Structure 1
Amino acid sequence: MFSREIIDDSWRYYRELLASENAVAAGICELSGYFFTKDGPEKVSNAHLARLCADYRPATERELRLCPGGWTNGVFCTTLLADDTYHLGWLTERFKEAGGTIIEAEVRDLRELAGYDIVANCSGLGAKRLLNDRRLVPLRGQVYKVKAPWIKTFLYCGEDTYVIPGVDHVTLGGSRRFAATSLDIDKYESKAIWERCTRYVPSLRRAQIVEEWVGLRPHRDPVRIEKERLDTGLTVVHCYGHGGYGVMTAPGSAALVSRLVTEVTSGDFTNPAISSL
């Protein structure tokens, strides 16, 4: 889905930020944990993590018994976490400090922006209406945010179940419903998520629930990162459709958009082939 360049650039950005004095304010930290499955090892293997993470290995037989589930295969790794409750605010401040201006307005047609030289269209789900993009669909997800400070490692296992410690809260999930648009809490999904997470991590039964949250991921196959010249002469660089991988691939995607914008300013309006992995 994503090129090796995007993934590598994203990893490098987060690693450098982790090593900087801004790591705490930006919500970046290292996090270790497990991917478990009852199926074959291919269900938990990740070529990118294996290539990038210094600590990536098969789970031992003892580790497979760390939580109930009858797991037959697993992977342990230490990776990076970007907590958006901190990171998005930090990025916004960096943008303003660099001279950026935020204007809140509704745009119904990109032709309304004809007064600009180049537009980077990062409108997410809004691109469905803005561009009538039928490939773009909402991918609904629902989670709990709980206080469980004793949870120090992440867990991914069957049925889209995950337990992810953040800076302040632990996220319990989840769900994946294509083309679902409701932002209301579904009590049946709530019950299913809670039962799965507490089955695999029984200590979570005494966690304090902070909130339940629903979000719509902008899913497109393929992700759209490309130049387009409108009939008005306006040049647009599109970047949307990342689904559930937006945070993971944001820095690398932004770097690619920046490169495409630079090419446009040099008179190059072609779209190079971008291979995905």
Structure 2
Amino acid sequence: MPEPVRICVLGAGVIGLHAARRLQADLPAAQVTIVAAGQGESTTSIGAAGIFRPGVFRAPTPRLTDEIMDESWRYYKALLASEQAAAAGLCEVSGYLLTRRGPEAIHNPHLERLCPDYRAANGRELAICPGGWKNGFFCTTLVTDDTYHLGWLTQCFKEAGGTIVEREVENLRDIKGFDIIVNCTGIGARKLTGDSRLVPLRGQVFKVKAPWIKMFFMTDDDTYVVPGVDRVTLGGTRQFGVYSTAVDEHDSASIWDRCTRLIPSLKRAEVIQEWVGLRPHRDPVRMEKERLDTGVMVVHCYGHGGYGVMTAPGSAGQVSRMVTEILRGDFSNPLVSSL
């Protein structure tokens, strides 16, 4: 019998875990191993609000962007309807996108296409939150709470025969004993690949206990209140090119002020945690094959910015497609140009 294909997935964040699980499903004879410096609480994914709200995410082509969005939505909706929903941290949440400007400032064509109840907010709805909101939209979308989801994915991966090795990788050529490497290292890919187009997008949030908050609220000044399974995320910041992972007291004051002005009852919320993460931003997201000078093939999948949780299932589908193409002898990148 031929030897099974040995695949190494670098990174145990939400992109890496979804990629590993998809490869297990699509290539059941393959041996899939995750190699990562950290898991769970040490990943950037753990602090995400996890709401399905497409923004500036851009795949290599517009068609691929839509495909990834649509596949991710279908995956999460199916998971939400399954008996695994609670363990996987999936919940459905309704809420409002608000702006003091024209409706185009907050209109979301992806949500309009995917959410059956997407509509303009009326005057009475715009007055729910203080702030003089002029326009807005209402919809029911999904939240994937990574405080549950990452653990669930990890358990599923191990139960399917996967192995996780805790190790820091400084050079792709140091990975030995595998036929294909899948690079899902997030912001770490900048050092690993020398990709100068990958930059940190610093995000800072509060995690609070506020069980009376049942709806999400998001505004066009990066203020958001997003309920998860048992915590509410208050944010946030989008600081381009900033590498600091320390909690900044000025950002804390700004976030708290903006969120409590939006929903005054949050002033009595119990603060559980303040968290900072470096979102890996690249325009477009890198999804391509590369042959190392050692002959080993690498599939890159990184640069999702603040949309990694939302697009992970669809991105995993693209990883599986590229790996399958490599196994068939197709090493081309028809949709992207090399660095």
Q: Given the two structures, how large is their TM-score scaled by the length of structure 1?
A: 0.97
What is the CA-CA distance between 1:114 and the residue it aligns to? 4.3
Could you tell me which residue of structure 2 aligns to residue 213 of structure 1? 275
CA contact under 8 A between 2:200 and 2:278: conserved in structure 1? yes
CA displacement, residues 51-92 of structure 1 (integer Å, 9 cap, x when unaligned): 111110000111011111111110000001100000000000
Q: Does 1:118 align with 2:151?
A: no
Could you tell me which residue of structure 2 aligns to residue 176 of structure 1? 238
What is the CA-CA distance between 1:271 and the residue it aligns to? 1.3
Pairing partner for 1:74 from 125, 133, 136: 136
CA displacement, residues 223-258 of structure 1 (integer Å, 9 cap, x when unaligned): 101111112111000000000000000000001100
What is the CA-CA distance between 1:272 and the residue it aligns to? 2.8
Q: Does 1:163 align with 2:225?
A: yes
Could you tell me which residue of structure 1 aligns to residue 300 of structure 2? 238
Could you tell me which residue of structure 2 aligns to residue 60 of structure 1? 122
For 2:267 and 2:185, locate their aligned partners in 1 and report how far apart those are by CA, in whole Å.
38
Could you tell me which runs of 5 or more consecutive residues in structure 1 were left unpaired when the two chains were aligned: none
CA displacement, residues 26-53 of structure 1 (integer Å, 9 cap, x when unaligned): 0001100000001111111111110111
CA displacement, residues 189-228 of structure 1 (integer Å, 9 cap, x when unaligned): 1001111111110111111111111111011111101111
For 1:130 and 1:13, locate their aligned partners in 2 and report how far apart those are by CA, in whole Å.
30
What is the CA-CA distance between 1:109 and the residue it aligns to? 1.1
CA contact under 8 A between 2:106 and 2:220: conserved in structure 1? no
3-state SS in 2 of match to 1:184:
coil
For 2:217 and 2:240, locate their aligned partners in 1 and report how far apart those are by CA, in whole Å.
23
Could you tell me which residue of structure 2 aligns to residue 152 of structure 1? 214
For 1:213 and 1:106, locate their aligned partners in 2 and report how far apart those are by CA, in whole Å.
23
Aligned residue runs from structure 1 range 1-277, under 5 A = 1-2=58-59, 3-273=65-335
CA contact under 8 A between 2:181 and 2:298: conserved in structure 1? yes
For 1:272 and 1:42, locate their aligned partners in 2 and report how far apart those are by CA, in whole Å.
34
What is the CA-CA distance between 1:115 and the residue it aligns to? 2.8
For 1:108 and 1:195, locate their aligned partners in 2 and report how far apart those are by CA, in whole Å.
41
Could you tell me which runs of 5 or more consecutive residues in structure 2 were left unpaired when the two chains were aligned: 1-57, 60-64
What is the CA-CA distance between 1:121 and the residue it aligns to? 0.5
3-state SS in 1 of match to 2:289:
strand
CA contact under 8 A between 1:114 and 1:232: conserved in structure 2? no
CA contact under 8 A between 1:114 and 1:234: conserved in structure 2? no
3-state SS in 2 of match to 1:103:
strand
Matched residue type, 2:306: G
Matched residue type, 2:259: C
For 2:178 and 2:269, locate their aligned partners in 1 and report how far apart those are by CA, in whole Å.
50
* Runs of 4+ with >4 A deviation: none
CA contact under 8 A between 2:200 and 2:242: conserved in structure 1? yes
Matched residue type, 2:141: T
**Alpha carbon RMSD of aligned pairs, Å?**
0.9
3-state SS in 1 of match to 2:333:
coil
For 1:13 and 1:206, locate their aligned partners in 2 and report how far apart those are by CA, in whole Å.
36
Matched residue type, 1:67: C
Deviates more, 1:110-119 or 1:10-19: 110-119
CA contact under 8 A between 2:184 and 2:301: conserved in structure 1? yes
CA contact under 8 A between 2:99 and 2:106: conserved in structure 1? yes
Matched length: 274
3-state SS in 1 of match to 2:74:
helix
What is the CA-CA distance between 1:158 and the residue it aligns to? 3.4
For 1:151 and 1:61, locate their aligned partners in 2 and report how far apart those are by CA, in whole Å.
21
Percentage of matched positions with identical amino acids = 66
For 2:245 and 2:282, locate their aligned partners in 1 and report how far apart those are by CA, in whole Å.
20
